[in-house]
Structure 1
Amino acid sequence: MEKAVELLKSLVDIPSSSGNESEILIYLEKWLIKEGFDFVVREETFVAGQIKAIVNNGQKKEAIILAGHVDTVVAGNLCDWKFPPTDAQVKEGKLFGLGASDMKGGDVGNLLAAASFIGQDLSQDIWVVGTANEELDGKGSEDFARYFSQNCSYESALCVIAEPTDLEKIYIGHVEIIL
């Protein structure tokens, strides 16, 4: 739990309002490399790490993608904050700061879940993705979907998006279709 709290504090402390995500994307790229992901890619609007499975002859090539966005809304009027929005604070067992719940907390869950598979004997590749511009136009998600469809050849892929929402919807799509 301590590792999760420290990583979340680090992410909240990085200003990353939509359109200004380069610092957090670079931070995450370095984190993925340090953790030992097999493959890491960073582009202008996303960063992704991959843990490769050992695929035997006749076995389907499949992927699980854990995705989230790394941008936040703007902080608004700083007088409305009890502390600086990009200075994560832990009070009464809760972490507060801009983006802590939407959605850097989900990103930390994705990152640590994916990293826990490093060195494991996997039957599917594991990807973890952080995208930019979700609060504006979703360009980071579109760019990653395009990158993934053009550079990866999976028979199937499952994507879990850790966005905090109450929409209660499940979307089913195909790799050829960008949702």
Structure 2
Amino acid sequence: MTPEEQVQVLKDLIAIPSENGGEAAVADYLAAQFTRYSAAHLTRVPYAPGRDNLVVTIGDQTEGPQLGFSGHMDVVAAGDAARWQTPPFTPSLRAGRLYGRGASDMKSGLAAMTVALLNRLAAGRQPTGGIRLLATVGEETGEFGAAQLTKLGAADGLDALVIGEPTGLTQVPLRLRGLLITLLRRPERRRTVRSRVVVIMPLTS
């Protein structure tokens, strides 16, 4: 995909008003991007009317390393549209930044993960192992979709899970085999994000 095509994916996602609901329209859009590739397998998991989770898998889901991507399709309510400089669901590019409800949280992350998989599929590159994209509903009001997919086993067997929430890369929490590791990049020093372990604590849940 060209850079313009990649940005268009984000623009298209922002233009779908999925305020605490209506995620099925986002799932429709994402599914349409993947259906052209026979190597992509899609599963829709309804949560409620108009609210569907979407699971996209490529590669071997039983052998080799398993990588997961997770992102939610809902956004918080836009509020009073009169207070916006531009309509909240009309993507607006200003000074190299794209504005709109959900542009940061987290349709940009969802678009990036989608584009990564689409580029791999377009190149005909099968992963060594499997990749799963979990697009979920209801994160802003209770993480309902993530809980539903977890209960159904959609994340079972994953060796790593990338969640595309915006953090500014100042804090990156890692959950590894019973440990919660929080890594903090000190902005005053040029070090990698892995250079400083701040907290290691057992997980109780």
Q: Which residue of 1 aligns with 2:93?
A: 90
For structure 1, the 5+ residue unaligned runs are none
Instruction: Give the 3-state SS of the residue equivalent to 2:5 in structure 1.
Output: helix
The normalised TM-score by structure 2 is 0.74
Contact residue 29 and residue 41 of structure 1 kept, 8 A: no
The structural deviation recorded for 1:121 is 3.8
The whole-number CA distance in structure 2 between the counterparts of 1:157 and 1:171 is: 10
For structure 2, the 5+ residue unaligned runs are 47-51, 179-204
* 2:182 paired with 1:138: no
How do residues 2-151 of structure 1 correspond to structure 2 at under 5 angstroms?
A: 2-44=4-46, 45-53=52-60, 60-118=63-121, 119-149=124-154
Contact residue 70 and residue 104 of structure 1 kept, 8 A: yes
Structure with greater strand percent: 2
The normalised TM-score by structure 1 is 0.83
* Paired AA for residue 64 in structure 1: L
Q: Which residue of 1 aligns with 2:184?
A: none
Superposed CA deviations along residues 133-157 of structure 1, whole A, max 9, x for unmatched, are: 000010111122223359x6x4x53
- CA distance 1:173–1:18, change in 2 (3 Å): farther
Structure 1 residue ranges (4+ consecutive) displaced by more than 6 angstroms after TM superposition? none
The whole-number CA distance in structure 2 between the counterparts of 1:135 and 1:93 is: 27
* Paired AA for residue 132 in structure 1: V
The structural deviation recorded for 1:77 is 1.0
Q: Which residue of 1 aligns with 2:174?
A: 170
Superposed CA deviations along residues 104-136 of structure 1, whole A, max 9, x for unmatched, are: 001111011122222214211011121110000
The whole-number CA distance in structure 2 between the counterparts of 1:53 and 1:88 is: 37
- CA distance 1:92–1:115, change in 2 (3 Å): same
* Paired AA for residue 69 in structure 2: L
Instruction: Give the 3-state SS of the residue equivalent to 2:9 in structure 1.
Output: helix
* Paired AA for residue 93 in structure 2: V
Structure with greater helix percent: 1
Contact residue 18 and residue 74 of structure 1 kept, 8 A: yes
The whole-number CA distance in structure 2 between the counterparts of 1:35 and 1:86 is: 29
Q: What's the C-alpha RMSD, in Å, of the aligned pairs?
A: 2.4
Instruction: Give the 3-state SS of the residue equivalent to 2:172 in structure 1.
Output: coil
Number of matched residues? 169
The whole-number CA distance in structure 1 between the counterparts of 2:176 and 2:44 is: 27
Instruction: Give the 3-state SS of the residue equivalent to 1:100 in structure 2.
Output: coil
* Paired AA for residue 163 in structure 1: E
Superposed CA deviations along residues 31-88 of structure 1, whole A, max 9, x for unmatched, are: 2213554210112241121111398xxxx44310111111100001111101110011
The whole-number CA distance in structure 2 between the counterparts of 1:78 and 1:41 is: 35
- CA distance 1:11–1:113, change in 2 (3 Å): same
- CA distance 1:21–1:149, change in 2 (3 Å): closer
